[in-house]
């Protein structure tokens, strides 16, 4: 009976998994996962992502009747070794789009071709693959709206999701496979325990999260997604990153929901546009593979960034003295996630008010986010810094006081993550230094002790940022 390797990566699910589905039609399956910290090099997963991966692999292994074969090391060397030891006819996998993965995949395909083995790769994680979308002059798009409206929506429509394979004949490697625990994805100090209550990791958890969003969050999404205390965000990003659910499954579930709830059509269009931004990030990384390291706009190579380790530490730990910024940074640490509106606020504060290079924010998010994604993380930080493709203009500097007052008007989000300010009246919640001493005392707040004083003056820092931007070459 013919047998094939199915190489799981960022597709940790059974349903709508093209590589797995194709292999299931062609005999026995040898399912593998390889933790490759060799080729990923500086882009190996951060702590929060490794915690998620540990739990996701456990769930996947259970759905595969404990027959997932796990390895650690250089993907190319491991796959070649398996092919030398096993009677394998074909290798199947779903494509990834990080530059290092593209390089390794190409090398493996070349080797398999020389060996005369069947090798097939599939799209399982994007609605539109970046190599298929170009402008009329055959150059890549650099602006989101024409990319999405002309390149994506007027091209091939997303395909219907594939079903879960009806039967899987799985082979276990009793000789070389290691246990998931042997990957040592979890730190010895269990800092991640605070994240556990917020997430139901795995394919079933992804489906449950999607259904909850459809029932509670999609209606009024267009407006409500700006308010971090409301339920109008999908929180599907980590599930999409690890492939516990596919964007095609999400797309068609939303479409189907709108048949029963046509009042959600406008909100669904807005949500699809947000999925489009995810596609655009992957598109940019594919066509501009140095996006994580280099400014997309070269003029930012001359930007006068500052080195301020104390300010950076205050930002990381949620001790800047600006409550909406600190709430976001503490949400990140406690949950492995941050609301998108707040991501823009904290990002703007770091690169514009503090004039600290976006690389430092990118690195911190990479380590702390459960949805840390090389494409999204790089493109989003460059967007907020003003150095990226279709970026926010540099003079757009989010004011953390007005942002808090507008998007967390009752203070529910801020008080949740900064309980030491929970008794402060709304009037002073986002600028506690303006509160009379009697109000602070009554609320149990002592600035500089129970809650920090602002680490920088907003008016001064805004003026400084604009002057820095004006200094750049045109």
Q: What is the largest CA-CA distance in the chain?
A: 81
Average pLDDT over residues 31-49: 96
Average pLDDT over residues 47-60: 98
Q: What is the CATH number of the domain that holds 149?
A: 1.25.40.80
Say what the pLDDT of residue 365 is.
98
Q: Is residue 319 part of a domain?
A: yes
Do residues 368 and 316 lie in contact, with contact meaning Cβ atoms separated by under 8 Å? Answer: no
Say what the pLDDT of residue 392 is.
74
Tell me what percent of the residues of the chain surpass a pLDDT of 70: 100
- The Cα 154–Cα 147 span in angstroms is 10
Say what the pLDDT of residue 155 is.
80
Residues 248 and 378 grouped into a single domain:
no
- The Cα 219–Cα 50 span in angstroms is 33
Spot the catalytic one: 89, 340, 363, 420: 340
* 156 pLDDT above the threshold of 90: no
Residues 51 and 140 grouped into a single domain:
no
Query: 307: how many CB neighbours lie within 10 A of its CB?
Result: 10
Q: Is residue 183 part of a domain?
A: no
Say what the pLDDT of residue 171 is.
96
Say what the pLDDT of residue 394 is.
80
Residues 331 and 282 grouped into a single domain:
no
H or E element, residue 406: helix 400-407
Examine the fold and report which residue of 287, 307, 339 is the final residue of a domain before the chain moves on. 287
Identify the DSSP state of 29.
E
**381 a catalytic residue:** yes
Residues 27 and 137 grouped into a single domain:
no
Q: pTM for the whole thing?
A: 0.97
Say what the pLDDT of residue 217 is.
96
Least confident range of 76-80, 166-170, 174-178, 390-394 = 390-394
Least confident range of 151-160, 237-246, 398-407, 447-456 = 151-160
Residues 278 and 131 grouped into a single domain:
yes
Spot the catalytic one: 26, 129, 226, 277: 277
* pLDDT tens by residue, 406-423: 999 999 999 999 999 999
Spot the catalytic one: 93, 315, 333, 381: 381
Average pLDDT over residues 105-125: 95
Say what the pLDDT of residue 157 is.
82
* 1 pLDDT above the threshold of 90: no
Tell me what percent of the residues of the chain surpass a pLDDT of 90: 96
Q: Is residue 233 part of a domain?
A: yes
212 pLDDT tier (thresholds 50, 70, 90): very high
SS3 call for 42: helix
154 pLDDT tier (thresholds 50, 70, 90): confident
Q: Which residue has the tokens 């546009």?
A: 273
Q: Is residue 179 part of a domain?
A: no
Q: Is residue 95 part of a domain?
A: yes
Residues 308 and 260 grouped into a single domain:
no
Spot the catalytic one: 22, 123, 220, 305: 305
Average pLDDT over residues 192-202: 97
Domain enclosing residue 62, as ranges: 3-124
- The Cα 361–Cα 369 span in angstroms is 11
Residues 139 and 56 grouped into a single domain:
no
Domains held by the chain: number: 3
Say what the pLDDT of residue 474 is.
80
Residues 224 and 136 grouped into a single domain:
yes
Q: What is the CATH number of the domain that holds 114?
A: 3.40.50.620
Q: Give the C-alpha distances (Å, rounded to integers) separating 285 from 78, 147, 195, 379.
A: 27, 14, 29, 8
Least confident range of 148-157, 251-260, 350-359 = 148-157
Residues 269 and 410 grouped into a single domain:
no
131 pLDDT tier (thresholds 50, 70, 90): very high
Residues 240 and 316 grouped into a single domain:
no
**358 a catalytic residue:** yes
Q: Is residue 168 part of a domain?
A: no
**100 a catalytic residue:** no
H or E element, residue 104: helix 99-115
**277 a catalytic residue:** yes
Do residues 170 and 29 lie in contact, with contact meaning Cβ atoms separated by under 8 Å? Answer: yes
Residues 119 and 137 grouped into a single domain:
no
* pLDDT tens by residue, 227-236: 999 999 999 9
Residues 151 and 239 grouped into a single domain:
yes
Average pLDDT over residues 145-165: 92
Spot the catalytic one: 231, 274, 405, 420: 274
* pLDDT tens by residue, 290-349: 999 999 999 999 999 999 999 999 999 999 999 999 999 999 999 999 999 999 999 999
């Amino acid at each position: 009976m013919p047998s094939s390797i199915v190489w799981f990566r960022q597709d940790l699910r059974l349903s709508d998994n093209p590589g797995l589905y194709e292999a299931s039609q062609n005999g026995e399956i040898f399912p593998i996962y390889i933790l490759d910290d060799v080729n990923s090099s500086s882009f190996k997963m951060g702590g929060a992502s490794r915690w998620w991966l540990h739990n996701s692999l456990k769930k996947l292994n259970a759905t595969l009747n404990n027959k997932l074969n796990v390895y650690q090391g250089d993907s190319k060397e491991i796959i070649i070794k398996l092919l030398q030891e096993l009677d394998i006819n074909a290798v199947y996998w779903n494509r990834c789009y990080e530059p290092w993965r593209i390089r390794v995949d190409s090398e493996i395909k070349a080797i398999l071709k020389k060996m005369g083995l069947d090798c097939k790769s599939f799209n399982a994680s994007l609605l539109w693959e970046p190599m298929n979308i170009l402008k009329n002059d055959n150059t890549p798009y650099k602006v989101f709206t024409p990319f999405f409206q002309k390149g994506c929506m007027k091209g091939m429509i997303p395909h219907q999701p594939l079903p879960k394979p009806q039967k899987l004949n799985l082979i276990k490697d009793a000789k070389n496979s290691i246990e998931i625990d042997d990957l040592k994805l979890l730190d010895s100090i269990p800092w991640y325990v605070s994240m556990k209550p917020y997430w139901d990791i795995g394919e079933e958890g992804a489906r449950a999260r999607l259904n909850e969003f459809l029932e509670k969050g999609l209606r009024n999404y267009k407006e409500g997604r700006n308010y971090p205390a409301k339920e109008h965000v999908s929180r599907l990003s980590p599930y999409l990153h690890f492939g516990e659910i596919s964007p095609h499954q999400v797309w068609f579930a939303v479409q189907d929901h709108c048949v029963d709830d046509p009042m959600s059509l406008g909100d669904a269009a807005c949500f699809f546009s947000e999925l489009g931004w995810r596609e655009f990030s992957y598109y940019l990384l594919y066509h501009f593979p140095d996006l994580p390291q280099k400014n997309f706009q070269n003029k930012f190579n001359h930007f006068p960034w500052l080195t301020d380790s104390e300010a950076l530490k205050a930002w990381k730990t949620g001790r800047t003295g600006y409550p909406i910024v600190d709430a976001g940074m503490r949400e990140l640490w406690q949950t492995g996630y941050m609301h998108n509106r707040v991501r823009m606020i904290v990002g703007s504060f770091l690169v514009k008010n503090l004039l600290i290079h976006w690389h430092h924010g990118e690195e911190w998010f990479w380590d702390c986010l459960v949805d840390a994604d090389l494409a999204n993380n790089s493109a989003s930080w460059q967007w907020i810094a003003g150095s990226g493709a279709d970026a926010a203009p540099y003079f757009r500097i989010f004011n953390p006081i007005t942002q808090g007052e507008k998007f967390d008007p009752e203070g529910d989000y801020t008080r949740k993550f900064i309980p030491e300010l929970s008794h402060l009246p709304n009037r002073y919640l986002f600028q506690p230094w303006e509160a009379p001493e009697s109000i602070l005392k009554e609320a149990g707040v002592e600035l500089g002790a129970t809650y920090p004083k602002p680490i920088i003056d907003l008016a001064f820092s805004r003026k400084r940022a604009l002057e820095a931007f004006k200094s750049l070459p045109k």
